[in-house]
Amino acid sequence: MTCEIRLEQLSALMAGDLDAAEAQSLRQHIGQCPVCAAAVERLQEIDKKVRAAADRSVPLEIIQRTRQVIHAAVRQPPLPEILTLDEVGQYVRLTPSQLGQMLEHLPSFTVAGEVRIRRDRLTQWIKDQEQQAVRDRVRSQAARSIRMAFEQGIAS
């Protein structure tokens, strides 16, 4: 099970950095989403441990750095070599419906009726998409330059 709520949003809620409407909406979501509820529990445990350390007169810099390291570890679980569609969606930050629309373009295979994607092939596919986007921009800019030159030549 996955969710589109980011850990940063949950942290902002806990820190009191959201406005009232955003906070209320997120609290309602957490009440219905076991993934987010579990993440909030983990963050609360981390905060309790950090506060307990603060009570022992630990320098503030160490507390802040510890909090950053822990949040980074919670936020970035290592990806397996073979990814499910849910894991791919989280990795590329797409909703399941967005991912479904582009599934035929992804380097996927099927195991027992379930779609899977090798992490290294997904990474290469992303690089290929980036390179294609750059080539398309260059072609587009070149086409604009040629058109502008042509239009200026006609206007002269």
Domain definitions of the chain by residue range: 1-77, 80-156
Per-residue model confidence (pLDDT) at position 44: 86
Cβ-contact 7, 39 below 8 angstroms: yes
Classify domain 80-156 by CATH number: 1.10.10
pLDDT single digits (tens) 59-112 = 778 778 888 887 776 665 677 899 999 999 988 888 888 998 998 999 999 999
DSSP state of 81: S
